[in-house]
A and B are shown apart, each in its own frame.
Chain A
Amino acid sequence: MNYNWNWLVFFDLAPDGSGTYLHTLITGMYWTIGVSVLAWIIALVVGVVVGVLRTSRIGWIELICGWYVEVFRNIPLLVQMFLWYFVFPEVIPESLGDMIKQADPIWSIFWTAVVCLGLFTSSRIAEQVRAGITALPRGQSMAATALGLTRPQVYRYVLLPMTARMVMPPLTSEALNLVKNSSVAFTIGLLELTGAARSMQEFTFQIFESFAAATVLYLVVNAVVVVLMRLVERYLSVPGFMGAKR
């Protein structure tokens, strides 16, 4: 097949003057990591709160949180990204919307992506947390209540610490999903890893080299996430309970 391979293209200078194409790709990877890490923080906080509230046994709160999860789960992520980027600044009070529109475009895109991915992932984490809490033997919360703990204390000292260990494996795959999903931010103009590879491909016409490099970098990021999550899992493990070292 007549395709001109040129693996040295990574050391050519990119036309935007920032350095070599390799530098473009690595910068893209940093954006991917940055979006993912910040979105992960939002996702964890909101996800745990919503997940806990879904087990609160207060009808209207459970209903609202149930709908929260359904809304984020049943709209494609790309459409959500467009809603946050194009629609959200228009429907909030004008002064706030203008503030977003006048901000440095790179950062308004970045924060839009962070919020969008964070809330999207939070709905999935909420489901994991809820499933984890429901999976605990009912005796645990009964025993804790019998010991005189208040409801918040039951969650704080008994249910959540146990749930945290149980949801570690699904959380690892959610973290990997988040890294992959961050590529959707490319559609609103964030030059994350996929976007960087795409722009390199457009400038150099070295299609397969660009995408191969992005592929390798994604695999590297994935490997790092898996190792980190496993370290956290081992650090949290309770002797005699699941996930503990033998």
Chain B
Amino acid sequence: MNGFDLDTIISSIPYLFMQGMAFTLKLTVLSTLGAIILGTLLAMMRLSSNRLVSGVAGGYVNLMRALPLILIIFWFYFLVPYIVGWIAQAGRPIAVGGFTSALITFVLFEAAYFCEIMRAGIQSVPSGQTAAGYALGLNYWQLMRHIVLPQAFRNMTPLLLTQMIVVFQDTSLVYVLSLTDFLGAANNVAQRDGRLVEMFVFVAMVYFVMSYAASRLVKVLERRMAVAQ
């Protein structure tokens, strides 16, 4: 090795951030949003008094949480074209783009983890409020929409954000599909220039700074919320 080559990093910064980091952040934000919505639905199902509904949701969540993300990524990478083909009645698998495939995978996978957070959030709302809501004549969806979920989201905001940081780190695993997320972009440059040491150290530092800063912000938010309550 002949010295630490900063030029490789500096000259590739536009590519790394405009392409790689943009992909990573887009995937992180969209999958978190999708996974929160699906996870909340799953949490409502898990808390249902209907055995079948709660059983299906529980089985799904436990299965997802028992398997490695890489295996799930492979599963959906091959499964999604078949499902899309089936929905579109095409009679054959329809290819979807790498980003779409990754997005669907992360929504379906992370929903299991967000489900557990939202389940705790819904349970953190005192049952007296549910009873009072029903007594006022609200139906289930009105009760959830106006009373339970707003409080559940507020109580769980720090945990939801922490899980979002986990999603941010997990998205690096799309490397196995050769997509150009931040790590993928850095890997491309590293292989092209033969500068693996520089690129991977740089990638690690960027991930560290971003995740660490985000987790500090979540802690500040948590403290403020604790005061507010």
Contact = CB atoms under 8 A, between A and B. Distances in A.
Asked if A and B bind, the verdict is: yes
Contacts of B204: 75, 79-80, 83
Contact of A82 (B68, B74, B200, B212): B200
Interface residues of B, number: 35
B15 interface: no
B85 interface: yes
A187 interface: yes
A219 interface: yes
A39 interface: no
Chain B at the A interface: SS class: helix
A86 B197 CA distance: 7
Contacts of A204: none
A68 interface: no
Contacts of A207: 78
The residue among A3, A78, A80, A211 with the most chain B CB atoms within 10 A of its own CB is A78
B207 A211 contact: no
A183 interface: yes
Given A75-B207, A79-B204, A211-B75, A181 B172 contact: no
Given A1-B82, A87-B200, A211-B75, A76 B68 contact: no
A132 B146 CA distance: 38
Contact of A74 (B68, B175, B215): B215
Nearest to B187: A82
A76 B70 contact: no
A218 B66 contact: yes
B1 interface: yes
A176 to B, nearest CB: 7
Interface residues of A, number: 40
Contact of A76 (B71, B74, B207): B207
B86 interface: yes
A186 B177 CA distance: 13
A75 B175 CA distance: 15
Given A79-B203, A87-B196, A214 B172 contact: no
B82 A74 contact: no
B136 interface: no
Interface string B192-225: 0000110011011001100110010000000000
B79 interface: yes
A194 B211 contact: no
B91 interface: yes
Nearest to B76: A211
A211 B92 CA distance: 20
Given A194-B68, A194-B71, A78 B78 contact: no
Nearest to B174: A78
B69 interface: yes
Nearest to B85: A1
A219 B212 CA distance: 33
B68 A90 contact: no
A12 interface: no
B80 to A, nearest CB: 12
Nearest to B91: A2
Interface string A206-241: 011001001100110010000000000000000000
A35 interface: no
Interface string A62-95: 0000000011011111111011001100110000
B175 A78 contact: yes
Contacts of A126: none
B173 interface: yes
A151 B196 CA distance: 46
A215 B71 CA distance: 8
A78 B70 CA distance: 11
Contacts of B201: 83, 87
A68 to B, nearest CB: 13
A181 B78 CA distance: 21
Contacts of B212: 70, 74
Contacts of A90: 1, 196-197
13 contacts: A70-B212, A74-B207, A75-B169, A76-B173, A83-B201, A180-B69, A183-B70, A183-B71, A187-B175, A187-B176, A207-B78, A208-B78, A215-B75
Given A75-B207, A180-B66, A218-B66, 19 more contacts: A1-B82, A1-B91, A1-B93, A73-B211, A74-B212, A78-B172, A79-B207, A80-B204, A82-B203, A86-B196, A87-B197, A91-B197, A182-B68, A186-B176, A201-B78, A211-B78, A215-B75, A218-B68, A219-B67
